[in-house]
Structure 1
Amino acid sequence: MKYWSKGWQLLQQSLPSLRKQLAFPQTSLQLCLLGALGGLLAAILIILFRLSIIALQSFYLDKFDDFSTAPQEIRWLLPFAGAFCVGLIALLTGYKHYRLGIPFVIHRMKTMYGLMPFRNTFNQFFGGVAALASGFSVGREGPSVHLGAYGASYVGKKLKLPFNSIRTLVGCGIAAGIAASFNTPLAAVIFVMEVVLREYRIHIFIPVMLSAVVGALVTRLVFGMERELAILQISTLPGWHFPYLILCGVLIGMVAFVFNTNMMRIIRWFKNWPLPLRLLLAAAITAAVGMLIPQAMGAETGAIQYAVDAPTDVQLLLALFIGKMILTIFALGLGVPGGVVGPIFGIGIVFGTLLALFPGLLHGHSDHAGTYAVLGMAGLMAACLHAPLAALVAVMELASNPDIILPAMLVIATAYVTGVQFCKTKSLFLMQLDFLQLPYKVSPAADLLQKVGVLAQLDHRYHLLMESNETAIRQQLDRLAADELLLLKTNSDDGPQYQLASYDVSLSLTGQDAIHYLPVPVVSQQATMAEVHQLLEASREGAVCVIDDAQQQPEPVGLVRWDQVQGLLVKQNNLL
């Protein structure tokens, strides 16, 4: 206990210098270590999440995520039980905290530096466990991203780190969460950059990469090295397959258009229904389809297994493909908590196996079914989510076979172009954000300024005066150096108020008071230059006062002037 207390004191003493270091948009050892810590916390949350699902399913399934092994009298009850639990959790936490998954995380990354509310996270963890354990066709990566973001943001919030560094830590948590969910660290890094952050910065990339390593290593300690796609046999495709792969990419792009369009249609149709009724309808559809096609229930694992076991069973593959499409569209469209990437993997693998039937007829065997299954998964992920690079890297890692790279690039490119240009398909995540009217775009100036903390731009060339006596103010103004400012502090019922005092020659010529007073807004030391820009943009003069709100009696630690904001913007790409 003594050593713990001493360690905590040392941490508290080093926090001011740590916060200032992290305010700069640059790679640092401190940020990498914090990213690894956030990644570890995120990985622990995802492991607990996965173990909870496995533990629940062990009571009624002979094999994880294979609902065809559940007794028929139990199978149809499971979705209703899951819907009841999800609804109860949402009721206890408040329906306004029911915004979940990757779209919500993207929104928070752009507008709140990735800080995640606890109640939403509570909903995501237990609601996601209930949904996945009860057979809804949703993926575990949605909760993984949400939980990873919360775990990493908790570290930053607890230490009161600058918001720009918290945003980076959240990216680290998301990468660790995806790596812990699928055992794909590189794909996790690319997914964060391409889908969540939608940018590439080297000072973000390095800590995100380290956190993905931590997430993958911790996962392997618990679940081992195996990946879901390891059971698929990847073979080298002869050259004559490549023209056919172009056709496959076109078909996959069209499937992505059907998937995205119909999911958004379901969301629009039932948007005014109360959540309990939507969950009840999702449970009824899942139970009905599950009675006919139990293999379509659950996440992607069951679909992968059946595509491997019966690559030439056209009737089963078609039923599985249609059933999986219906269950996923209705489950996610009606608000069941979970992700879309897992079901897209399952749907893509089944559809790719169907596409392998034609070359299989020419060959007289199904040796290439596994290769086409992986290509179907990659193409559908790229076209649905507008994440072609993440899809390619995911395939490379999950398949663990370099022979898949060239055909995957061809299918991904064709599917993506088909979806974007000919079918006018937008990213499913962005379509959801637009419908929910959750902002996810910021101006180029704000985007740049969000990356720099106010602690990196502090100006200490000022004198703090507690008196409001005009004589004292004039005396202090006469003593100031040319580049110094006079900051006045007065106490009021609303707390300390700050003003800048200066001589104004134009006022003195009119016979008015020659002292000009300018209100000074207050910002937290966690703020970024984007908040300073927002406060001073209207007046385009003055400064903001940065206070140390980590103390019981917050005191000024410096000023940030408008000309510093101007200088930062002019320096970076002439944005003013």
Structure 2
Amino acid sequence: MSLQSLRLALSQPSTSVQLCLVGLAGGLISAFVIILFRWLLSLSHVFMLDGIGNYAALVPEYRLALPIVAVCFIIVVAKLTGFKHYRMGIPFVIHRVKQFYGHIPMRTTINQFFGGLFALASGFVVGKEGPTVHLAAWASHLVGHWLSAPFNSLRILAGCGIAAGISAAFNTPLAAVIFVMEVVLREYKVHIFIPVMLSAACGSVLTRAVFGDVSELSFLSFTPVPVQQLPFLVLMGIVIGVAASQFNRQLMWLMRLFRPVNMMGRLFIAAFVTGIAGYSMPQAMGAEFINVYHFINSEFTMQGLMLLLFVKFALAIVAIGLGVPGGIIGAVMVIGMLLGLLLMQLMQPIMPLMEQDMTTTYALLGLAGFLASVLHAPMAALTAAMELAASPQAVLPSIIVIVSAYVTAKQMCNNRSVFIQQLEYQGLPYTTSVIRDVLQQTGVMAMMKTDIKVFKFAADKALYDHLQEHPEQTLINQTSDHLSSCQIVELNVSLQENESALSMQDTQVLSQQHTLADVYDALQTRRQGAVIISGLDGKEICGVITWNMVHNYMQRQQH
């Protein structure tokens, strides 16, 4: 199969073997990049802390200095790549997927790789999914760039990479698929679903081959919730919804408060706050799940749990709000688990007696509710809870907590997705019109008319005679060596006196990588004429798309 036939298949908005194979290739590369990132992160923890998240192994002075030293390295990397390229994380990826077909600049990727590594290794309360999504989207886009694939397939390819990356990071392939569809791409189409699922499975297989079958959250074993306790889960969800709304509100308040402060100042403030907290409370540092596991299995007190939750809550807001290069989801999951534990302890006096230890069950339910409310991604949260619990009995309690938390946050607290709020704060567009959404799904190669005839410097009589003999062909007259000088030649049907027998319209030139949305943008002002589709080298004419062809396509999509 030639590359040109591959590109033609990818330009179609339909499921195909070619699309699955290209998506799988993007998933493989993304998974390898994320596995390398995870391996380096684990290596740094073992080298500095003698274990993952073992901040207590450091003397207090080192815990105070560790975030400050990390910020120095983060600033050095940002200085080398250019401070204007300090844009990263899931909100930035959503913006690039929606507005630039998933293209991720190289310099921002360098910032994210090393900056995320330093931040996650030094005790900031941030998650690894921020670097994971950014790096995976960049890695998968390399495949599309190498193939010169149509732009409509590059968005799908970015989704494949992100799904593989999240699956490789958390070993939760199904939750990775739902996260991509619900949060990043924000659309459900079968031809997108299939390659994304395949890539997520690929990421999970590779991470299990390297790190083993055990997930970092496998300690969250699920014990069935008695029917008598189900009504109390509604109350639990309401409290979680309010807490999630406060988390988002305080995060955005802090971002606006420190907006006048430059990037270096914000990062050092976050480092000092994290270091001071870690000096006296090492378990408050980082967002590693293993520390939650150790805390659950310790003889913790109610006061100790409340203090740890409050400090984690504050440190996460400080780190994320002041621009530390990490993700929000890992921190939200840790806070959700601690909040679930606290609510279980608070509701025990009014709940029916528990015959079994349900500590990890309520931690899992708290994770699901808090994640759904902060991200406004209830399906992704429910799927994550199902995968982590590995039990169908987790579905009903998770639904009760997620629905009550989400509705409370959405309607009663007027809360919105933290990613959308961050995008609006940064001035990054993340939406397109309905027309563009539809037209971006199809590449020009799938629609262009290839039955064309090109004349160079032809006389009007030759053009007229050819149209008389071949009325079904599209005739192009090229008046110079550049494609920009091409005109579409048609018979003049105005029937006015003293008019030329031919009608000639100027054209614009687009490459075969573009989508119908780009054709629409080029022709919508006049609502007539045509666009010439050139090869990748810009020297040959591959086809033509007229305004009527685009208009007819949109009409078909409405029925």
TM-score range, shorter chain: over 0.9
For the structure 1 residues 561 and 364, does the alpha-carbon distance in structure 2 shift closer, same or farther, using more than 3 Å as the test? closer
CA distance in structure 2 between the partners assigned to 1:519 and 1:121 by the alignment: 41
C-alpha distance in 2 between matches for 1:232 and 1:248: 18
Superposed CA offset, 1:9-38 (max 9, x none):
xxxx71011111111111111111111111
Q: How does 1:231-380 map to 2 (within 5 A)?
A: 231-310=219-298, 312-361=300-349, 363=353, 367-380=357-370
Q: 1:562 to 1:243 in 2, by over 3 A?
A: same
Which of the numbers 400, 404, 414 marks the counterpart of 1:410?
400
| Cα offset, 1:472, TM superposition | 3.9
Q: Which residue of the partner structure matches residue 556 of structure 1?
A: 541
**Candidates 525, 529, 533, aligned match of 2:516:** 529
Secondary structure of 1:58's match? helix
Partners of 2:457 and 2:480 within 8 A in 1 = no
Q: Report the counterpart of residue 487 of structure 1 in structure 2.
A: 476
For residues 264 and 366 of structure 1, do their structure 2 counterparts lie closer, same or farther at Cα, with a shift above 3 Å needed?
A: farther
Distance 2:379 2:28 in 1: 25
1:515 is displaced (CA, Å) by 3.6
Distance 2:86 2:28 in 1: 26
Is contact 2:483-2:509 (8 Å) kept? no
Match of 1:39 in 2: 27
Give CA deviations for 1:501-529 in whole Å, capped at 9, x if unaligned: 234354852x3555432111111111111
Residue 293 of structure 1 and its aligned partner are, at CA, apart by 2.1
Q: 2:438 aligns with which of 440, 448, 466?
A: 448
Find the aligned partners of 1:151 and 1:559 in 2 and give their Cα distance: 33
| Distance in 2 of aligned mates of 1:364 and 1:15 | 63
Once the two structures are overlaid, the 10-residue window that deviates more, 194-203 or 416-425, is 194-203
Aligned to 2:421: 431
In the alignment, is the contact (CA less than 8 A) between 2:116 and 2:325 conserved in 1? yes
Q: Whole-Å Cα distance in 2 between the matches of residues 225 and 399 of structure 1? A: 15
Which stretches in structure 2 are left out of the alignment for 5+ residues?
A: none
The code of the aligned residue for 1:556 comes to I
Question: In the alignment, is the contact (CA less than 8 A) between 2:484 and 2:509 conserved in 1?
Answer: no
Partner of 2:101: 113
Secondary structure in structure 1 of the residue aligned to 2:174: helix
Q: Judge conservation of contact 1:246–1:414 (CA < 8 Å) in 2.
A: yes
Partner of 1:60: helix, strand, or coil? Answer: helix
- Separation in 1, partners of 2:472, 2:369: 60
**Superposed counterparts of 1:142-161, under 5 Å:** 142-161=130-149
Per-residue deviation, residues 191-226 of structure 1 (Å, max 9, x unmatched):
111111111111110110010010000001111111
Instruction: Give 1:255 deviation, angstroms.
Output: 0.6
In 2, Cα distance between equivalents of 1:461 and 1:59: 65
In structure 2, what is the equivalent of residue 543 of structure 1? 530
- Once residues 496 and 84 of structure 2 are traced to their aligned partners in structure 1, the CA distance between those partners, rounded to angstroms, is 55
Partner of residue 213 from structure 2, selected from 220, 225, 233: 225
Q: Which moved more, 1:269-278 or 1:180-189?
A: 269-278
Matches of 1:311 and 1:426 in 2, distance apart? 37
Describe the superposition over 1:170-195 as per-residue Cα deviations: whole angstroms up to 9, x where unpaired.
11100000000000000000111111
Q: Which moved more, 1:360-369 or 1:154-163?
A: 360-369
> Aligned residue for 2:75?
87
Partner of 1:8: none
State the shift of 1:115 in Å.
Answer: 1.4
Distance 1:303 1:352 in 2: 16
Query: Cα distance, 1:102 vs. partner?
Result: 0.7
466-475 or 257-266: bigger deviation: 466-475
Does 1:391 pair with 2:378? no
Partner of 1:565: 550
Moved more, 68-77 or 152-161: 68-77
Q: Does 1:198 align with 2:176?
A: no
Supply the distance in 2 between the matched residues of 1:573 and 1:503 (Cα, whole angstroms).
31
Q: What are the Cα deviations for residues 433-486 of structure 1, in whole angstroms up to 9, with x where unaligned?
A: 11112111111111011111100012023210111544444444444x333222
Residues 127 and 212 of structure 1, relative CA distance in 2, 3 Å threshold? same
State whether residues 175 and 188 of structure 1, in contact with CA within 8 Å, keep that contact through their aligned partners in structure 2: yes
Q: 2: distance between equivalents of 1:394 and 1:521?
A: 48
The answer to whether the 8 A contact 1:307-1:350 is kept is no
Q: What residue number does 1:209 align with?
A: 197
| Distance verdict in 2 for CA 1:311–1:43, change over 3 Å | farther
Q: Which amino acid aligns with 1:522?
A: V
Query: In the superposition, relative to structure 1, how do residues 468 and 279 fare at CA in structure 2: closer, same or farther (>3 Å)?
Result: farther
C-alpha distance in structure 1 between counterparts of 2:98 and 2:44, whole Å: 36
Q: Does 1:101 align with 2:89?
A: yes
Separation in structure 2 between the aligned mates of residue 284 and residue 208 of structure 1, nearest angstrom:
41
SS in 2 for 1:435: helix
Q: Distance in 1 between matches of 2:414 and 2:441?
A: 33
Q: Which moved more, 1:255-264 or 1:48-57?
A: 48-57
Shifted more, 364-373 versus 447-456: the winner is 364-373
Residue identity matched to 1:466: K
- Select the residue among 113, 130, 152 that pairs with 1:164: 152
Cα deviation code 1:24-67 (max 9, x no counterpart): 11111111111111111000110111111111122221320232
Q: Are 1:507 and 1:513, in contact at CA under 8 Å, matched by a contact in 2?
A: no
CA RMSD of superposed structures (Å)? 1.8
**Can you list the C-alpha shifts for 1:512-559, whole angstroms capped at 9, x where unaligned?**
55543211111111111110111111111111111111x4x6211111
Conserved 8 A contact 1:24-1:456: yes
Alpha carbons 1:229, 1:304 under 8 Å: kept: no
Verify the 8 A CA contact 1:128 1:337 in the aligned structure 2.
yes
Asked if residue 520 in structure 1 is aligned to residue 507 in structure 2, the reply is yes
Amino acid at match of 2:479: T
Task: Please tell me whether the aligned partners of residues 126 and 327 of structure 2 are also in contact (alpha carbons under 8 angstroms).
Answer: yes
Q: In structure 1, what residue type is equivalent to 2:472?
A: D
**What code does the residue aligned with 1:540 have?**
R
Offset, 1:303: 4.3
**What is the distance in 1 between the residues matched to 2:405 and 2:299?**
22
In structure 1, how many angstroms separate the alpha carbons of the residues matched to 2:499 and 2:545?
A: 29
Q: Among the aligned pairs, what percent are the same residue?
A: 44
Q: Which residue of structure 2 lines up, in the alignment, with residue 401 of structure 1?
A: 391
| Structure 1: tracts of 5 or more residues without a match | 1-12
* Per-residue CA distance 1:204-254 (angstroms, 9 max, x = gap): 101100100100000011111111222234212222211211111000001
